[in-house]
Chain A
Amino acid sequence: LKIEDTQPETHAFPWFGMDIGGTLVKLVYFEPVDITAEEEQEEVENLKSIRRYLTSNVAYGKTGVRDVHLELRNLTMCGRTGNLHFIRFPTQAMPRFIQMGRDKNFSSLHTTLCATGGGAYKFENDFRTMADLELLKLDELDCLIRGLLYIDRVGFNGHPECYYFQNPSDPNSCVKKPCNLDNHFPMLLVNIGSGVSILAVYSENNYKRVTGTSLGGGTFLGLCCLLTGCETFEEALEMASKGDSTNVDKLVKDIYGGDYERFGLQGSAVASSFGHMMCKEKRDSISKEDLARATLITITNNIGSIARMCAVNEKIERVVFVGNFLRINTVSTKLLAYAMDFWSKGQLRALFLEHEGYFGAVGALMELLKTSEDL
């Protein structure tokens, strides 16, 4: 029985799902829009205050952001109709968030706070001692899959959630195309957050974690900050968009003078990432933008290469990339689409999802509502 079809007798509001990751906290909040006059009258003050605070702002404090463009409107969940909001803030601001929960007397609402991600374990005690809140801890990969399949099912305000690139190897005809994950099993799911997890998903309830890599979004941002002096993900991407990585990387043609034909390696392929940087003259001649670009390309191509090996190993043709490393990052998205297509000679297809890094939080919310089904 799917969540969208269940009936009332549900969990008390507010309905939250939380994913406390290594870098970002992702929060989804269900704002009911079908509140009756009676309900409204009975609604306690702090619940109303939370609802107003979240829905009438798009920024919270200095670092909280509500991704309005991702809002799902008029969604039906457990017999209620409402809007699903997508909010994020740095995990570093967690103490502030917990403090807010305490100030707004969240614990008096007797609601369960479903949380996933490593932070659900790491901050469990802090929630208890600082805000008198009990977290219901859920596994991050269980939540990721559950959330992803749900959003794909309900769609994005009438549009498809999932997309791919047609002709990814041809910049002139490369075009974004919608698709649908339903009946797309098995699929390889690559979650690129601070680090990377790669899962082989056979059905909603049958998956395994194939492997992971520690060279993820956190590596890109950490290295960029060190190499260029930038401070945020957005700055790093901005710099990368203007740089030329071939000034930094040693290409096959720099070593061979052309292609390495025997093994099908084009001259333009990177032989050694950052390979030019051992030469002082080259170090003195490149820009911060070049370094940012090289860092982005290196991390992205490494993930693509590992994903491809897993796909071959597991005999899976569809590779779905999610996670906040891809947020506003079309360079990486297109590069992954190209890499999957090119290196597999068209056998593999890269798929992407609009709600990128929020699926864990959605999965946590669904677990909250599911437990109420059993009541």
Chain B
Amino acid sequence: MSHRAFPWFGMDIGGTLVKLVYFEPKDITAEEEQEEVESLRSIRHYLTSNTAYGTTGIRDVHLEMKDLSLCGRTGNLHFIRFPTHDLPVFMQMGRNKHFSSLHTTLCATGGGAYKFESDFRTMADLELHKLDELDCLVRGVLYIDSVITSGPSECYYFENPTDLDHSAQKPYTLENHYPLLLVNIGSGVSILAVYSENNYKRVTGTSLGGGTFLGLCCLLTGCSTFEEALEMASQGESTHVDKLVRDIYGGDYERFGLPGWTVASSFGSMMFKEKRESVSKEDLARATLVTITNNIGSITRMCALNENIERVVFVGNFLRVNILSMKLLAYAMDYWSNGQLKALFLRHEGYFGAVGALLGLLHPS
């Protein structure tokens, strides 16, 4: 059975991060191994024997999918990420390892597939096969959900989302899940209504996304990374920063069902010097997280209502190691819809575009 030449990669070059999926074949015959060119072997060893690459590349080992059957081959699917900022280093590496001599197509999606197309050509003599990021996202989500049959469920939700401290993660089956609202929270946000594998539309988007959270946090607290920002947020109190309904009404705004603890004006207390001087960096980080998350939740809810869809799936690397935002989203969907909407999450969060690109390599339509 002839197949696409190895290596099999799918790449998603986003606004902040590059997501790379790599299929490591485990069923290589003795004959294949002998014929395998040095550069291919070297790539395979480099990727699979490290979990960190250079100073900023990371392989998310906990997400590895073992013994996957793909296009008649069996192997492990690896999930790797690095900042888009370091793409030149990556391209240099591709050049040094003579990637172009492997005559393989490099399937890439995300804005960077367009932005860096020329650079790949001139710096590493590589031709990118460009694919649309939302096509890849949808394809990737549906594929991963369908092949995970053992181990932890890909899809999950939070039971009792209105009790944030005690809500537990529960598995969920996405099968027969149409229609779905798919909310992709990366640097920015895209919201899609998915009716079937090949039928979806981009409903809307918002520019207040993960990039906004990180950018504002860096400015307000002096932090430098996403992990630092989240760490600070976990220790802060946003009610020191926001103006709540009870700060304005002295209690609930009963007429329109707004409880006193609802935020009336995000960062609204920060117009007062005394308040600015009394809040901590942690409080500011928390308020930024809560503001961005709740805004996404609110816009999502309006879309779900508009499109008559009850299941909302949140993906994207804003949610990576960010259980606070996931719980807030789960809560918001449930509370403001009186239990009509359900928030769902997927373990492979921000990698679906890259998976979709890999599938684009193997099953070109």
The digit string for A281-306, where 1 denotes a CB below 8 A from any CB of B, is 00100000001000000100110011
Residue numbers in A under 8 Å from B234 (CB-CB): none
Q: Which residues of A contact B291 (CB under 8 A)?
A: 214-215, 219
A218 to B287, CA, bound (A): 14
Q: Given A218-B266, A278-B16, do A306 and B112 touch, yes or no (CB 8 Å)?
A: no
Residues of A within 8 A of B205 (CB): 265
Across the interface, B243 reaches (CB within 8 A) one of A218, A227, A248, A273, namely: A218
Residues 224-242 (chain B) with a chain A CB within 8 angstroms: 224, 241-242
A221 contacts the other chain (Cβ, under 8 Å)?
yes
Q: Are A250 and B114 in contact (CB under 8 A)?
A: no
In the complex, whether A133 has a CB less than 8 A from a CB of chain B is no
Q: Does B204 contact A (CB under 8 A)?
A: yes
Near A by CB (< 8 A), chain B positions 257-285 give: 258, 262-273, 276, 284
- Residue of A218, A255, A263, A271 ringed by the most chain B CB atoms within 10 A: A255
| A242 at the B interface (CB under 8 A) | no
Contacts A218-B243, A306-B302 given: A257-B111 contact, CB under 8 Å?
Answer: yes
In the complex, number of A-B residue pairs with CB atoms less than 8 Å apart = 212
A117 neighbours in B (Cβ, 8 Å): 248
Instruction: Report if B3 contacts A (CB, 8 A).
Output: no
Cβ-defined contact, A272 with B211, below 8 A: yes
Complex Cα–Cα for A312 and B204 (A): 12
Known: A219-B267, A225-B276. A273 touches B207 (CB 8 A): yes
Residue of B188, B216, B249, B266 touching A121 (CB-CB under 8 A): B249
How distant is B145 from chain A, measured CB to nearest CB, in Å? 24
Residues of A within 8 A of B216 (CB): 223, 274, 277
The yes or no answer to A260 lying at the interface (CB within 8 A) is yes
Flag if B187 contacts A275 (CB, 8 Å). yes
- At the interface, yes or no: A313 with Cβ under 8 Å from chain B? yes
Main secondary structure of the interface of A (DSSP, over half): helix
Known contacts A272-B15, A272-B207, A275-B211; A225 and B271 CB within 8 A of each other: yes
Within the assembled complex, what's the spacing in Å between the Cα atoms of A247 and B260? Answer: 38
Which of A119, A122, A263, A274 is the one whose CB lies under 8 Å from B212?
A: A274
Residues of B within 8 A of A212 (CB): 258
Quick check: is A309 within 8 A (CB to CB) of the other chain?
Answer: yes
Cβ contacts B184-222/A at 8 Å (1 or 0 each): 000110000000000000101111111110111011100
Minimum Cβ distance to chain B for residue A108 (Å)? 27
Binding site for A on B (CB under 8 A): 14-16, 85, 110-112, 114-117, 132, 134, 187-188, 202, 204-212, 214-216, 218-220, 224, 241-243, 245, 247-251, 253, 255-256, 258, 262-273, 276, 284, 291, 294-295, 298-299, 302-303, 305-306
